[in-house]
Amino acid sequence: MTFNIVDGPIDVAALAAEVLTDYDGAVCTFQGVARRFSRGREVVHLEYEAYPAMAERKMAEIGDEVCAKFGVERIAIRHRTGVLSIGEASVAIAVASPHRQEAFAACQYAIDRLKKTVPIWKKEVWSDGEQWIGWEGVEPATAM
């Protein structure tokens, strides 16, 4: 049950090992990965920024929520900040449970919640510009 922000690569196998016990018949992992193409543009790299203390607290709250909602007891969430190359994981979630259904459901719920409530921001950097995601249509002076 760890919920943390890290500034280096995420080892998803290590995260799975953290939650797995002899009671479990399933461990479901999810990784969000930096992709090359986004809304028609080619991404050079991504940058993630977090409000670490609040992000870790919000991730722990998601963990509690997931445990209550799906009846699972073991979940870990790790999010990376800093510069990410294409193909690298920005976030990983691992849920272990005696049976697979609740592990799958809990994993999906956790990433959906994380994207809505956890204060972490993504910047796409292209060869000819950059933008903080979440800003389309608004009028930030920084959407250069």
What is the contact surface with other proteins in residues (CB under 8 A)? 49, 51, 53-54, 57, 112, 114-123, 132-135, 138-143
Given a contact cutoff of 8 angstroms between Cβ atoms, the answer to whether 50 and 81 are in contact is yes
3 state SS of 107: helix
Instruction: Identify which of residues 69 and 123 has a Cβ nearer to other proteins in the complex.
Output: 123
CB of 67 to other proteins, least distance (A): 20
CB of 143 to other proteins, least distance (A): 7
Given a contact cutoff of 8 angstroms between Cβ atoms, the answer to whether 43 and 125 are in contact is yes
Instruction: Identify which of residues 13 and 53 has a Cβ nearer to other proteins in the complex.
Output: 53
Q: Cβ contacts of residue 62 below 8 Å, gap of 6+?
A: 3, 77, 110, 113, 114, 117, 118
Instruction: Identify which of residues 16 and 120 has a Cβ nearer to other proteins in the complex.
Output: 120
